[in-house]
Amino acid sequence: MITKKIIYNLLKKRVLILDGATGTQLQKIGMPAGVCPEKWCVENSDAISSIHKAYANAGSDIIYTATFGANRLKLNEYGIKDVAGINRKLAAIAKKSAARENVFVAGDIGPTGKFVAPFGDLPFEEAVDIFKEQVRGLLKGGVDLFVIETMMDIQEARAALLAVKETCDKFVMVSLTYEKDGRTLAGTDPLTALITLQSLGADAVGLNCSTGPREMLDAVSRIRPYAKIFLFAKPNAGLPRLKDGKTVFDMDVRQFASCGAALVRAGANMLGGCCGTDPEYIKNLVRVVKSKKPFLPLRKSISALSSGRGNIIFGRDEPFCVVGECINPTGKKDFAKELAEGKFDILRRLARDQQAAGAKVLDVNVGAGGIDEVKAMREALSVLSLATELPLAIDSSKVEVIAQALRLYPGRALINSISAEKDKLSRLLPLAAKYGAMFILLPLTSSKIPYEFSERKKIASAVLAKALKYGFTKDDIVVDGLAMTVSSKPHAGIETLKTIGWASGELGCQTIIGLSNVSFGLPKRQWLNAAYLAMAAREGLSMAIANPLNAELMNAVRSADVLLVRDVRASEYIKHFTVPPAGDKKNTDEVFSPGQRIKDAILEGEKREIKDFIALALDKKISAQNILNDIMIPAITEVGRRFETKHYFLPQLIAGAEAMKEGLNYLEPILAKQGGGPREKVNIILATVKGDIHDIGKNIVALILKNHGFNVIDLGKDAGAQKIVARAKKMDASLIGLSALMTTTMVNMKEVIDLAKKEGLSCKVIIGGAVVTKAYADSLGVSYAKDGVEAVRVIKGLMNSK
Amino acid sequence: MKGPMFFDSIAVAVDKERICRRLGYEKGATRLSETQEREAGRRIDEAFSLIQLKGSALILGLNECGRGKVVLENGIVFESADLSAMLKECGQVLLMGATAGSRIIPYIRGEAAKGDLSRAVIYDAAASEIVDSALDWLVSYFNQKLLRENKRVTPNRFSCGYGDFSLINQRKIHAALELEKIGVKITDSCILDPEKSVTAVAGIVSAAD
């Protein structure tokens, strides 16, 4: 029997060669389009056998069974029910074909084609069950190891890996397929996948398909420093592209092989080929890499967490990590109510705000009265897996909540927490070990929260000793310094610092504290928290459970990182403290005249203060008419000019127009009082035509026209010809403006124009919108404007010529 | 009859520059203050947090294609010279639909109603761009699947309401993709609801074609 040990030993000696493409080879030897490849292979065993043999003869050490799509969901599409039977037969064919000594057969498990919850609608346990069925069949056929390949959903890869591990103890390789942007379609990057899968027990992690070897080179180099397991790559023969309606790959045999050598230098322990490759590619690969010495994994352990789409690495030189504490319903009535009702808007917001404030991990606690905590945790993890890429800390006092969370969480989680409480310890340690989670070691027992460092050290050491027996390393453990309030025990802060110093130094674990405990009962707690964090960081504290929305705290974190050389070029510090130049503005405000400030408010789209500036100008005896004609209108015209010359983009144009509108609202009653009278109003009817619901562009045009003194009657979207023409008639409109986004709705403009003519209206018509062109407007005999700024110019021209 | 494949959660990265370009941003020409850049970034992030991309897709054989007419294996007929020209080398078509969901819509309308059009326009552009990138995602997904069959999805795709591909076809695509199942309705005038929903037709070419 081929054990893991045999494969490990081989991998220590040399680079193992995998096989090349199977699907495209099957097509070459006559597999018709549209058939079930697995069934066809069973019925044409000589054909698939010849491919296996060709790869074995080319030098492959490991060949994959032709079972890529042999799972229940895919086989059912062809009406095949005997999933285990197909897998068994195809495994047996591969075994027979690989009769040469030292050619191993890997049971190939491909994706189901569905995304697994939380990223899709296939329930996680169903996915595990589907893969177990396939694993059992492959085992019966005699496979030597397993390969889970071409996964684009990390959760599906987890389900398949658990299926293998819960069925047998074979060597398991897992490879995901990454797009050109370096992520899977579900958003996972190679390092995140490595952290998740190696902690869950994969023996080798790699990349296959989608891209060529050049693209994979960078990924292998980047993940190697963090790998404690073997790495492999099975690239396509370059990048696929369409040439004369055919898929071609841009790399020949020689180029492919030379990239193979580079991949070995980058750290790949196993190499093969995917789409576009054939036995010739493999033969050349063997020739080039056979003399290369393999690099062994660099690590035995790693302190790292991951989510489905991101990761964090811990270490003495890594930046301090704030674990956001806000996802906790204790004391938050609205949040507790939402959780109980199965709503998650507040949860999403808490995640988003903490991430934006600089949290690197989010603590998730959903325990409160009236909440089914297992269900709430399951749902919260689903929501958070989509809402944030930050890794999560599972915070619960209930073992069953943690058990569910660890099974379903699509990454490597941090358990908050495991203490020396006997019952929980014996249940939680094996759970954490099975799923490869990191955990917070809380140095307390069921009967005692120790105050002195010496007691904490004793308890922590005892828990650590037990954890090591389960295969944990010190890198997997985060010791809690047990922060207590200094208002009741003045030396509590010192005892905690001693615990942190010992755990991070002598013991060599990561460390954490619940920061705000230290300041409980005292005023202005943020300063105590910030000061204590800086001290604890000096003792080696890796992370703190705290509120990242607290500015003082985050300022202290950024400062401590610079001072403790965790932010070497102070780049994070500089980024954190680079604030909008509000302070500068205050100084310059003093030297600017009120007129300049009004102008700047419009140019900068700053509507909050424009009224004050106008009031200031009026105080300085500038007339309302002058403010309008000499300051505001030139300013909004300048905004339009900047937009037309691309110096401004649309939000700047709108912000300027909104500031202008705010100013006009304030100024117009004063204009009337000062005897200038309201500006002469030209009535304009604006509408998005029938069948079209896109009205944001039309709204912008309306705003800009109003800025320029036009009286705009906005009829909204999906407006019929009758309605538009009737209103134009009633308001004695000088102009009708029509908007449409789609070619199919712009034809409705003609209907309005024809009806207006029929009704004898003398008003002009102007049209615009995404697909509307000047040529189209000309064909209808009306005017055209591409945007609001041009509309002002065109309409003014039309009104002047009238 | 083949049914569509549903995607409950489509993960796309937010391409802020692409969203800003949709809003008229031009690298090297447009000057944004740090505050404006931050503000735009924040609004895009807000929009993103209000969007849950879902999709549906269906591969169908192409029974007939030419002279402005496209007939699919399930009997759907599209009358469009532009579409039939795009599909002329193809053996199959990929029908796709995606939605940003309904949560973003009240925010776009609400901000516009409150008079904060600049925020509304960023939400709007972000939602449009993000839902469009869901179609890119679907194309990548099917390209990945089809690679083993030596097939590719055509780089171009066509949506109803553009060129001569009438909006009326939206109803056929909506039904074929069973878009109701991902919360997308269609109005009498063939507009998708929620508004930030899109459909498209692309071709699939293979070595055999």
pLDDT in tens, A227-247: 999 999 999 998 877 677 667
Q: What is the CATH number of the domain that holds A781?
A: 3.40.50.280
pLDDT in tens, B149-193: 888 899 899 999 888 898 899 999 999 999 999 999 998 888 899
CB atoms within 10 A of CB A123: 13
Which residues make beta-bridge pairs with A416?
A395
SS3 content of chain A, % helix, strand, coil (to 5): 50, 15, 35
Residues A593, A690 within the same domain:
no
Q: Which of residues 116-145 of B touch A (CB under 8 A)?
A: 116-118, 120-122, 124-125, 137, 140-141, 143-145
Domain for residue A17, yes or no?
yes
Structural domain for A747, as ranges: 683-801
Domain for residue A310, yes or no?
no
Residues A645, A692 within the same domain:
no
Residue A483 has pLDDT above 60, yes or no: yes
Contact A246 B25 (CB under 8 A): no
- Tokens found for residue A10: 């081989």
pLDDT of residue A585: 41
Residue A155 has pLDDT above 80, yes or no: yes
Q: Which of residues 433-492 of A touch B (CB under 8 A)?
A: none
Amino acid letter, A383: V
In chain B, which ranges are E strands? 5-7, 54-66, 69-72, 77-79, 92-99, 151-158, 185-186, 192-193, 197-206
- What is the Cα–Cα distance from A788 to A800, expressed in whole angstroms? 18
Contact B161 A743 (CB under 8 A): yes
Q: What is the CATH number of the domain that holds A652?
A: 1.10.1240.10
pLDDT of residue A580: 43
Average pLDDT of chain A is: 91
CA nearest to A118 within chain B: B9
Tell me the pLDDT band of A802, cut-offs 50, 70 and 90. Answer: low
Contact criterion met (CB below 8 Å) for A544 and A478: no
Average pLDDT of chain B is: 90
Domain for residue A294, yes or no?
no
In B32-139, which ranges are E strands? 54-66, 69-72, 77-79, 92-99
Distance from CA of B29 to the nearest CA of A (A): 5
CA dihedral A381, A384, A389, A393 (to 10 degrees): -50
Question: In chain B, what residues touch A643 (CB-CB under 8 Å)?
Answer: 24
Residue with tokens 């080398």: B89
Tell me the pLDDT band of A676, cut-offs 50, 70 and 90. Answer: low
Residue A654 has pLDDT above 90, yes or no: no
Which of A543, A577, A611 is the last residue before a domain boundary? A577
Q: What does each C-alpha distance from B141 to A100, A115, B100, B160 come to in angstroms?
A: 37, 11, 18, 22
DSSP state of A515: G
Q: What is the mean pLDDT of residues A199-208?
A: 98
Question: In chain A, what residues touch B118 (CB-CB under 8 Å)?
Answer: 605, 651-652, 654-655, 658
- What is the Cα–Cα distance from A346 to A343, expressed in whole angstroms? 8
Query: For A247, which of B25, B144, B207 is closest by C-beta distance?
Result: B207
Question: In chain B, what residues touch A152 (CB-CB under 8 Å)?
Answer: 141, 144
Residues A509, A553 within the same domain:
yes
Question: In chain A, what residues touch B116 (CB-CB under 8 Å)?
Answer: 658
CA nearest to A21 within chain B: B148
pLDDT of residue A647: 85
Question: In chain A, what residues touch B164 (CB-CB under 8 Å)?
Answer: 743
Which positions ≥6 away from A249 have C-beta within 8 Å?
A: A212, A236, A237, A238, A239, A240, A275, A276
Contact B161 A646 (CB under 8 A): no
Q: What does each C-alpha distance from A239 to A215, A390, A457 come to in angstroms?
A: 9, 32, 56
pLDDT of residue A582: 38
pLDDT of residue A737: 95
Which of A544, A577, A610 is the last residue before a domain boundary? A577
Contact A115 B49 (CB under 8 A): no
Which among A454, A385, A400 has a CA at the least distance from the CA of A431?
A400
Contact B32 A649 (CB under 8 A): yes
Which residues make beta-bridge pairs with A273?
none
Residue with tokens 């339009």: A640
Q: Which of A701-705, B78-82, B197-201 has the lowest mean pLDDT?
A: A701-705
- What is the Cα–Cα distance from A463 to A476, expressed in whole angstroms? 13
Our separate counts of H helices and E strands in chain B read: 6, 9
Residue with tokens 């050598």: A261
Residues A540, A482 within the same domain:
yes
State residue A622 phi and psi, 5-degree precision. Answer: -85, 130
Which positions ≥6 away from A158 have C-beta within 8 Å?
A: A196, A197, A200, A410
Which among A539, A545, A546, A446 has a CA at the least distance from the CA of A499?
A539
Residues A594, A453 within the same domain:
no
Contact A650 B33 (CB under 8 A): no
pLDDT of residue A581: 40
DSSP state of A629: I
Residues A393, A536 within the same domain:
yes
Q: Which residue has the higher pLDDT, A725 or B163?
A: A725
Q: What does each C-alpha distance from A799 to A159, A710, A733, A765 come to in angstroms?
A: 69, 11, 12, 12
Contact B23 A651 (CB under 8 A): yes
- Tokens found for residue A776: 């189209």
Residues A341, A432 within the same domain:
yes
Q: What is the pTM of this model?
A: 0.82
Domain for residue A295, yes or no?
no
pLDDT of residue A478: 98
Residue A50 has pLDDT above 90, yes or no: yes
Residue A679 has pLDDT above 70, yes or no: no
- Tokens found for residue B139: 């194309």
Domain for residue A696, yes or no?
yes
Domain count, chain A: 4
Q: Determine the Cα angle at A691 with ends B130 and A742, to 5°.
A: 50
CB atoms within 10 A of CB A596: 16
Candidate ranges A452-461, A652-661, A682-691; pick with highest mean pLDDT:
A452-461
pLDDT of residue A458: 96
Distance from CA of A483 to the nearest CA of B (A): 34
Share of chain A above pLDDT 70, in %: 96
- What is the Cα–Cα distance from B152 to A522, expressed in whole angstroms? 66
Domain for residue A300, yes or no?
no
DSSP state of B181: G
Q: What is the mean pLDDT of residues A642-646?
A: 85
Residues A656, A643 within the same domain:
yes
Which of A508, A543, A577 is the last residue before a domain boundary? A577
Q: Which residue has the higher pLDDT, A264 or B207?
A: A264
Residues A257, A343 within the same domain:
no
Question: In chain A, what residues touch B35 (CB-CB under 8 Å)?
Answer: 580-581
Question: In chain A, what residues touch B163 (CB-CB under 8 Å)?
Answer: 743
pLDDT in tens, A367-407: 988 899 999 999 999 999 988 999 999 999 999 999 999 99
Domain for residue A311, yes or no?
no
Which positions ≥6 away from B127 have C-beta within 8 Å?
A: B47, B51, B100, B104, B108, B196
Residues A153, A34 within the same domain:
yes
Q: Is A426 on the interface with B (CB under 8 A)?
A: no
pLDDT in tens, A398-413: 999 999 999 999 999 9
pLDDT in tens, A93-148: 999 998 776 799 999 999 998 889 888 889 999 999 999 999 999 999 999 999 99
Residue A176 has pLDDT above 90, yes or no: yes
Tell me the pLDDT band of A583, cut-offs 50, 70 and 90. Answer: very low
Greatest extent of chain B over all pairs of C-alpha atoms, in Å:
57
Which positions ≥6 away from B132 have C-beta within 8 Å?
A: B198
Question: In chain A, what residues touch B209 (CB-CB under 8 Å)?
Answer: 245
What residue ranges define each of the domains in chain B, with the CATH number in brackets? 5-206 (3.40.109.40)
Q: What is the CATH number of the domain that holds A387?
A: 3.20.20.20
Query: Which of B43, B48, B53, B149 has the most A C-beta neighbours within 10 Å, making it the best mutation to test the interface with A?
Result: B149
Contact criterion met (CB below 8 Å) for A199 and A412: yes
Residues A253, A337 within the same domain:
no
Tell me the pLDDT band of A747, cut-offs 50, 70 and 90. Answer: confident
Q: Please state at what angle helix A345-357 crosses helix A333-340, rounded to 10 degrees.
A: 130
Contact B205 A23 (CB under 8 A): no
Amino acid letter, A76: N
Q: Which of A82-96, A112-126, A596-610 has the lowest mean pLDDT?
A: A596-610
Residue A678 has pLDDT above 60, yes or no: no
Which among B4, B15, B12, B18 has a CA at the least distance from the CA of B134?
B12
Q: What is the mean pLDDT of residues A523-545?
A: 96
Amino acid letter, A366: V
Residues A146, A20 within the same domain:
yes
DSSP SS3 for B66? strand
Contact A744 B167 (CB under 8 A): yes
Q: What is the mean pLDDT of residues A691-696?
A: 76
Query: For B89, which of A113, A245, A648 is closest by C-beta distance?
Result: A245
Query: Which of A154, A184, A185 has the most B C-beta neighbours within 10 Å, making it the best mutation to test the interface with B?
Result: A185
In A200-320, which ranges are E strands? 204-208, 230-234, 240-243, 246-249, 270-271, 304-306, 311-313
Domain for residue A297, yes or no?
no
Q: Which of residues 253-312 of A touch B (CB under 8 A)?
A: 275, 309
